[in-house]
Amino acid sequence: MTDGGESLRPQEFMGEAEEILEALGSDLQAAEAEMRGGGVRIQRLNSLFRGMHSLKGLAGMFGRGDLSRLAHRLEDVLDRLRMGECTLDAGFLDLLFDAHERLEALVSGCAGEDAGLEELLGRLQAALGENKGEEAAAGVAGASDPQGPSPPVGLDAALLSSLTRFEEHRLRAALAAGVPVRLVALRLPMESFDGDLRSIIGSVGEAGEVISTLPCYQPDEAVDGLGFQLLVAATCSEEELLARVGRPARVETVRAVSDEPSLAPPAPGGGPVDPPQTSRADDDAGPAAGEAGGSASVRVDLERLDRIMNSVGELLLFRRSIADVARRLVDNPATQVLGRDLTRATRDLDKRLHELQRSVIGARMVPVSQMVGRLSRLVRKLSRRSGKEMVLESRGGQTELDKVMIDRLLNPLIHMVRNAVDHGLEDPHERRRAGKPARGRLLLTAAQRGNSVIITLSDDGRGIDAETVCRAGVKRGLLEPGTPASLELACDLIFEPGFSSSPAVDEVSGRGFGLDVARREIRALNGEVTLRTSPGVGTVLEIELPITLAIIQCMLVRAGDLDFAVPVAAIAETLRYRPERTESIATSPVVRLRGETLPLVDLRRFFRLQGGPDGPPGYVVVTRSGERPLALAVGDLMGQHEVVIKPVGRRLESIPGIAGATEVAENRAALVLDVTTLTAEVQRMSGAA
């Protein structure tokens, strides 16, 4: 039925592959911007090459044949590009974007038949064939001679042989172009060398190119620290170079042609000795000492974090029972003193637990900007396909959200972007007529507001036309004929399942996947989405999400003999139940509160619960979902608790009013109320009655 054998863990592959793809994607976009600005930086091509090399290795390790083949071919292509053996033009870049998309599909395992793959491999091969080293027209800044007999270089043979093929190529290119090349030797303290080196490379990189960073031993200096040699090609003066290094260093210039006959031939590997300090691979795909080394972070499996999170949740449960014991001790005069001590100790424990909880939550947080790359590549693609000019801008990308949320938010956002491009943004012609810039603008913003994160996606398109939408609503039977069209109604309608005002299903936003699915997914994350539109000016979709799914403050309430957790965020107030304040309007019970009339629902009756004491409810919990208030009659209030909310599984997740479950005591679960679906269900029921 299920095979017991466990192969290499797929989530490890996914996590790492996605990270590499993300970096490749942003490098491609940066390359495109650089191309527009005059020329693609050689560092960019090198970083693309490195990323592709890692991906190839990863794919091979996990036995992903197709992925590995494509990555291998791309690695070849990128290698030739960075070696200046062929040139990168707009068409070639498009091809790389296509290939990137294909890689994404292969990684996520949703690539179709591999017919397309062969075609793509063929196109890459062809691009290499017809594009051979026209250096003059190079899009690459400072590309240089293809391989061939290279003149010797005034560099120590051991050092030269420790350069990678690419670094040597860059060295020769710089010398050939007459750019001064210098060898900078310096020492850095053991404890901070990686950070120091990174900042030096950054600062020197602004003035020129750091071709290589080589660690070396300098036994004559008895000082602590590590010696490094930086091979730098830069047109600036030696003084400026030293100023950029910002610490004592020895600089010597590397000459183009050797005048020392004693030098060994410069072919890589031909050097007489393998310098001990450079135990480097035969190619430079591994992180160079200075660049990627020393990033003080580790990748952690989400499942492990979940386990830690669960343990923290359990600790919080224990805290509760200890606090109970303390209370009982305090209540008894004989043990009062002991009880107070225990209460104090519990408070200290509390503080620590909350710190722990915050750190664990923090470890799950990632910046929203992780999604921006994917979305702007999508926009780029949609722009090409639809012939509409547009750009995606983003603000607040540093805002953090739970990793799980980011992952699950991507699909709804992709759909919303597609929707905006398809229905919102006009074509350039129409835009000019409306007095707008030809290029449409999508703006993605993220900001934290209290315990929520607000993400908005706005476009400066034509907005929603109430008439068109309502007409479509009538046609689909979602609206009674003759209902007056209003913007408010239109905004509700487009979230209805099965609603689409576009007459044809097209490749851009068709496939029967409506905004309703996007909204359902967002609601599954405890979030809510709202829409504002202004005809002719544009549309704003606003998503509000809790920062983390993992822990929420809840009020525990009892209905019948069951406990329910109501998210505090959804509670407006709680009051004692007073029969005199309730009445009924057309048989629907309501409660009046400061001039407002709220629908009243007895939770016990709503859930058709049998157990528990008879008699009137004890309390009323007033909740708000969006602007819609609801008064929930419950038996008793059990106090506020932090609960770890967990999914209830696919069989139960569609029951209205239930968001998930949580552990309230050992092995005992309580249901967490979903105020949004509860409110909707109550309205539906009273509408049906």
Partner 1 sequence: MSQPTPRGHETDGLEILLEPGGESRPQDGMTQVLTFRLAGERYGIPIGCIVEILKYRQATPIPRSEPVVHGIVSLRGRIVTVLDARRRLELHAAEIGPATRIIVVRDADEPVGLLVDEVLQVMKLPADAVKPPPATIRAAAERGIAGVCDTRQDSILILLDMQGFLKV
Note whether 391 and 381 are within 8 A (CB). no
Binding flag, residue 356, partner 1 (CB under 8 A)? no
Q: Which is nearer to partner 1, 105 or 669 (CB)?
A: 669
* Tokens representing residue 154 in the block: 């005034």
Pairwise CA distance, residues 99 & 70, whole Å = 8
Q: Which is nearer to partner 1, 594 or 668 (CB)?
A: 668
Rama region for 74: left / alpha / beta (φ>0; ψ in -120 to 50; rest): alpha
Sole binder of partner 1 in the list 275, 424, 461, 660 (CB under 8 A): 660
What residue type is 190 in one-letter code? M
User: Which range binds partner 1 by CB under 8 A, 39-47, 231-239, 308-316, 626-634?
Assistant: 308-316
User: Which range binds partner 1 by CB under 8 A, 293-301, 460-468, 613-621, 664-672?
Assistant: 664-672
Helix, strand and coil in the chain, % to nearest 5: 45, 25, 35
From the list 280, 297, 298, the residue with the least C-alpha distance to 289 is 280
Query: Please, what's the b/e burial string for 331-342 (b: 16 or more CB within 10 A of its CB; e: otherwise)?
Result: eeeeeeeebeeb
Cβ-count burial of 106 within 10 angstroms (0-12 exposed, 13-18 middle, 19+ buried)?
buried
User: Which range binds partner 1 by CB under 8 A, 45-53, 320-328, 612-620, 642-650?
Assistant: 642-650
Q: What are phi and psi of 398, to 5 degrees?
A: -80, -10
Q: How far is the CB of 549 from partner 1 (least distance, A)?
A: 14
Q: How far is the CB of 122 from partner 1 (least distance, A)?
A: 38
From the list 163, 320, 256, the residue with the least C-alpha distance to 640 is 320
User: Which range binds partner 1 by CB under 8 A, 133-141, 169-177, 532-540, 655-663?
Assistant: 655-663
**Paired sense of beta strands 249-254 and 181-188, if any:** antiparallel
Displacement of CA 526 from its chain's centroid (Å): 18
Q: Which is nearer to partner 1, 505 or 665 (CB)?
A: 665
Compute the C-alpha angle 97/99/105, nearest 5°. Answer: 110
Sole binder of partner 1 in the list 249, 302, 537, 648 (CB under 8 A): 648
Binding flag, residue 173, partner 1 (CB under 8 A)? no
Sole binder of partner 1 in the list 274, 314, 331, 596 (CB under 8 A): 314
**Cβ atoms < 10 Å from Cβ of 664:** 19
Residue count at the site for partner 1 (CB under 8 A)? 35
- Dihedral sign computed on CA atoms, order 48, 50, 53, 58: negative
Sole binder of partner 1 in the list 57, 589, 646, 686 (CB under 8 A): 646
Q: How far is the CB of 107 from partner 1 (least distance, A)?
A: 20
Q: How far is the CB of 305 from partner 1 (least distance, A)?
A: 13
Residues 669-688 that bind partner 1 (CB under 8 A): 669-671
Binding flag, residue 320, partner 1 (CB under 8 A)? no
Binding flag, residue 13, partner 1 (CB under 8 A)? no
Q: How far is the CB of 86 from partner 1 (least distance, A)?
A: 46
User: Which range binds partner 1 by CB under 8 A, 160-168, 284-292, 303-311, 500-508?
Assistant: 303-311
Binding flag, residue 449, partner 1 (CB under 8 A)? no
User: Which range binds partner 1 by CB under 8 A, 172-180, 183-191, 227-235, 646-654?
Assistant: 646-654
User: Which range binds partner 1 by CB under 8 A, 54-62, 469-477, 574-582, 645-653?
Assistant: 645-653
The 592-631 contact track toward partner 1, x by CB under 8 A, reads --------------xxxx----------------------
Cβ-count burial of 617 within 10 angstroms (0-12 exposed, 13-18 middle, 19+ buried)?
buried
Q: Which is nearer to partner 1, 108 or 597 (CB)?
A: 108
* Tokens representing residue 9 in the block: 């863990």
From the list 355, 357, 403, the residue with the least C-alpha distance to 551 is 357
Binding flag, residue 649, partner 1 (CB under 8 A)? yes
Q: How far is the CB of 619 from partner 1 (least distance, A)?
A: 19
Cα end-to-end distance, the chain, whole Å:
47
Pairwise CA distance, residues 285 & 526, whole Å = 42
Cβ-count burial of 184 within 10 angstroms (0-12 exposed, 13-18 middle, 19+ buried)?
buried
Displacement of CA 210 from its chain's centroid (Å): 31
Binding flag, residue 689, partner 1 (CB under 8 A)? no
Sole binder of partner 1 in the list 26, 218, 258, 310 (CB under 8 A): 310
- Dihedral sign computed on CA atoms, order 189, 192, 193, 198: negative
Pairwise CA distance, residues 446 & 594, whole Å = 36
Q: How far is the CB of 606 from partner 1 (least distance, A)?
A: 8
Q: How far is the CB of 519 from partner 1 (least distance, A)?
A: 22
Note whether 270 and 161 are within 8 A (CB). yes
Sole binder of partner 1 in the list 658, 659, 675, 682 (CB under 8 A): 658
Sole binder of partner 1 in the list 299, 351, 433, 668 (CB under 8 A): 668
Binding flag, residue 656, partner 1 (CB under 8 A)? yes
Binding flag, residue 93, partner 1 (CB under 8 A)? no
Displacement of CA 233 from its chain's centroid (Å): 36
Binding flag, residue 562, partner 1 (CB under 8 A)? yes
Pairwise CA distance, residues 525 & 452, whole Å = 12
Q: How far is the CB of 1 from partner 1 (least distance, A)?
A: 4
Q: Which is nearer to partner 1, 299 or 668 (CB)?
A: 668
Q: How far is the CB of 304 from partner 1 (least distance, A)?
A: 13
Note whether 483 and 474 are within 8 A (CB). yes
Binding flag, residue 307, partner 1 (CB under 8 A)? yes
Cβ-count burial of 194 within 10 angstroms (0-12 exposed, 13-18 middle, 19+ buried)?
middle
233 by DSSP, 3-state: which? strand
Binding flag, residue 663, partner 1 (CB under 8 A)? yes
Q: How far is the CB of 651 from partner 1 (least distance, A)?
A: 5
553 by DSSP, 3-state: which? strand
Sole binder of partner 1 in the list 2, 262, 279, 297 (CB under 8 A): 2
Sole binder of partner 1 in the list 51, 313, 424, 440 (CB under 8 A): 313
Contact footprint for partner 1 (CB under 8 A):
1-6, 307, 310-311, 313-314, 562, 606-609, 646-652, 655-658, 660-661, 663, 667-671
